[in-house]
Amino acid sequence: MAKATCKHEEGCPGEVHAKGYCKAHYARWFRHGDPSGGRHAYRMDHHFFDVIDTEAKAYWLGFITADGCVQAGRIGANGWQRHELTVKLKASDAGHLEKLRAALAAENPVLPVPQRTTGKPAAQIALSSRPLTESLIRLGVTPRKSLTVTPWDGPARLMRHYWRGLFDGDGTIVRHPGGRDKWHLRLLGTEACMEAFRLWAGEVCGTAAGKYPKGNIWSFTAGGLASPQALARELYGGATVYLDRKHELALQLIAAPIRHRSPVRRLAA
C-alpha cells in the first residue's frame, strides 16, 4: 500500500508524520500555526509589483534587480515549493531594508545575519510570497539572475527611478583625492543592463561614456565632472526614495563647482 504524502498546499512529496504533514511541515505548523514556517503568516502587499506605476515601485524594482535574490520552484530534500525574495545588505545599511519593509507594508522583520563569505555583520529581510516572486520574475528578476538579468523597459517618467534603484545596489560614486574636478560614477551589471543604461544616460545628459567588459560582467563609467554631475542630478535630483549614503555622495557631486580654466595666453614672437 502506498504511503500517504504531505498535504501541504505547495505539493510536498514527504511522507505523512502527523496532522497530515511531513516531519518538516508538521514542525513548522506546530511552532507557527503555519506549515510554511510562519513566513506566510506575515502580512504584506503581495501584489506590490503587479503594476509598476510609481516612483517607489520603479525604484524598488531596480534595487531588487541589483541586490535581491528570488527563489521559486521545488527546492530542498523534500522537494517542496518555495517562493521567496531575500535581500541582504551590510549591517550599516539595515535602515534601507526598513524602507523596503515599509514600502511593502510588510510585517517581516529585518534580521541581523552574517555575510556568507566573510562572516561580517549583515542585515536581511526574507519575504515569502508566490504572487510577489511571480511578478518579479515576469519583470526579469529571475532566480540566479546575476549574469542573465535584462533591464525593465518602463515609461520614460519612471526610468530614472528604476536606474537609481539599480545604481544604489550596484553603482559607486567616487571623488578622486586631491582632484576637485575629478569624479567617477560607475555602474556594474550584465551587458544588456549596461547597454540600456548607456543609451538612457546619453539621452538625458548627453554623455558619450561607454560600457566595457569587466570579467564576466560589464561596467559603465562616466568620469570628470560635467558628465557624472549631470547623471547624478538626473538620478537623485528631487528623489524621495534612495540609499542614504549614496544620496549624500550624489548631493556632494551635484554641488561641486565647475572651475573654468583661464585661456592660455600666447607669448608674442
> Do 70 and 85 meet the contact criterion of CB atoms below 8 Å apart?
yes
Mean pLDDT of 35-41: 53
**CB neighbours (10 Å) of residue 122?**
19
| CATH architecture group of domain 23-138 | Roll (3.10)
**What CATH number belongs to 156-255?**
3.10.28.10
Cell numbers for 59, please give them: 525604484
Residue 38 pLDDT > 50? no
Q: What are phi and psi of 186, to 5 degrees?
A: -125, 140
Residue 36 pLDDT > 60? no
DSSP-assigned states of every residue in 204-263: HH-----EEEETTEEEEEEEESHHHHHHHHHHHTT-SS--HHHHHHHHHHHHPPPPPPPP
Mean pLDDT of 28-39: 52
* Range of lowest pLDDT (20-34, 122-136, 169-183, 250-264): 20-34
All CATH 3.10.28.10 domain ranges in the chain, comma separated: 156-255
What's the confidence (pLDDT) of residue 41?
Answer: 60
Helix axes 226-236, 191-205, angle to 10 degrees: 100
How many whole angstroms separate alpha carbon 25 and alpha carbon 19? 10
% of the chain exceeding 70 in pLDDT: 82
DSSP-assigned letter for residue 3: P
**CB neighbours (10 Å) of residue 127?**
22
Question: Terminus-to-terminus CA distance in the chain, angstroms?
Answer: 108
> Do 6 and 12 meet the contact criterion of CB atoms below 8 Å apart?
yes
Name the strand (E) or helix (H) holding 73: strand 68-75
* Range of lowest pLDDT (18-27, 201-210, 242-251): 18-27
The answer to pTM > 0.75 is yes
Cell numbers for 203, please give them: 539621452
Reference 131, options 44, 28, 32; nearest CA is 44
Instruction: Give the model confidence (pLDDT) of 115-160 as tens digits.
Output: 888 889 999 999 988 899 999 999 999 998 888 999 999 999 999 9
What's the confidence (pLDDT) of residue 246?
Answer: 98
Cell numbers for 135, please give them: 511578478
Residue 39 pLDDT > 50? no
Instruction: Give the model confidence (pLDDT) of 213-226 as tens digits.
Output: 999 999 999 999 99
What's the confidence (pLDDT) of residue 80?
Answer: 60
What's the confidence (pLDDT) of residue 32?
Answer: 44
- Torsion sign (Cα): 176, 182, 186, 191: negative
What's the confidence (pLDDT) of residue 257?
Answer: 86
How many whole angstroms separate alpha carbon 185 and alpha carbon 178? 17
